[in-house]
């Protein structure tokens, strides 16, 4: 079930559970959807594993938008002058782990155009603060794991750092 845990986000679980329950109810009423009902129940069971993972002791994995949406203090990385001078542009991907209280406990830069950008991303996200990821049932806070994506580019001759997650959250709220 580890594959499921790595792909299902916290809010996606809540949305998925509601949709699957409605689909399961409908399938059982029609008597034609036994296969769908079985698939829905297995999928829901797999998704529930996100919240009750034995080996990771209550660490949930969330998507970029959900993760970014929980940030209460977020500082963009600085575009390093050496990277600008070298013409390095591209994407930086970082995986974070956040405690139940919303503090960053682990940072791993997975991809970056160069070492200077990697260091800038690492330094910036270590200062981020998140609101706790709380389950609707039982009010229990969970530690969370997720990724953030930053684009380093030059637009109209000016260096620019774009937080992809913040843009996704802003588009979703419109």
Report residue 35's pLDDT band, with 50, 70 and 90 as the boundaries: very low
Could you give the C-alpha distances from 82 to 92, 93, 152, 155, in angstroms and in order? 16, 19, 13, 17
Q: Of 16-30, 37-51, 52-66, 87-101, where does the model show the most confidence? A: 87-101
Q: Identify the weakest region by mean pLDDT among 30-34, 63-67, 140-144, 164-168.
A: 30-34
Cα separation, 9 vs 108, in Å, equals 19
Q: What is the mean pLDDT of the chain?
A: 75
Cα separation, 120 vs 130, in Å, equals 19
pLDDT at 81: 96
57 vs 5, more confident:
57
Q: If we measure between CA atoms, which residue out of 126, 125, 119 comes closest to residue 79?
A: 119
| pLDDT at residue 55 tops 70 | no
Domain ranges of the chain: 2-48, 59-173
pLDDT at 138: 66
pTM of the model: 0.66
Report residue 58's pLDDT band, with 50, 70 and 90 as the boundaries: confident
Cα separation, 5 vs 122, in Å, equals 25
The CATH architecture one would assign to domain 59-173 is: 2-Layer Sandwich (3.30)
Q: Identify the weakest region by mean pLDDT among 20-34, 39-53, 70-84, 113-127.
A: 39-53
Report residue 111's pLDDT band, with 50, 70 and 90 as the boundaries: very high
| pLDDT at residue 39 tops 50 | no
pLDDT, one tens digit per residue, over 85-95 is: 999 999 999 99
User: Packing angle between helix 10-30 and helix 34-48, nearest 10 degrees?
Assistant: 160
Report residue 121's pLDDT band, with 50, 70 and 90 as the boundaries: very high
SS3 at position 107: strand
Strand partners, 133: 142
Q: If we measure between CA atoms, which residue out of 91, 80, 68 comes closest to residue 148?
A: 68
């Amino acid at each position: 079930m580890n594959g499921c845990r790595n792909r299902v986000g916290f809010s996606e679980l809540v949305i998925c559970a509601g949709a699957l329950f409605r689909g399961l109810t409908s399938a059982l009423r029609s008597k034609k959807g036994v296969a769908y009902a079985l698939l829905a129940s297995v999928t829901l069971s797999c998704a529930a594993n996100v919240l009750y993972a034995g080996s990771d002791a209550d660490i949930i994995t969330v998507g970029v938008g959900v993760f970014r949406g929980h940030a209460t203090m977020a500082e963009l990385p600085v575009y390093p002058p050496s990277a600008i001078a070298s013409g390095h542009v591209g994407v930086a991907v970082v995986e974070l782990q956040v405690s139940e209280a919303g503090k960053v406990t682990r940072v791993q830069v997975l991809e970056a155009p160069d070492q200077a950008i990697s260091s800038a991303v690492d330094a910036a996200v270590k200062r981020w603060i998140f609101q706790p990821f709380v389950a609707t049932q039982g009010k229990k806070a969970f530690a969370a794991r997720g990724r953030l994506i930053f684009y380093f580019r030059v637009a109209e001759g000016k260096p620019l750092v774009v937080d992809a997650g913040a843009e996704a959250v802003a588009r979703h709220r419109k």
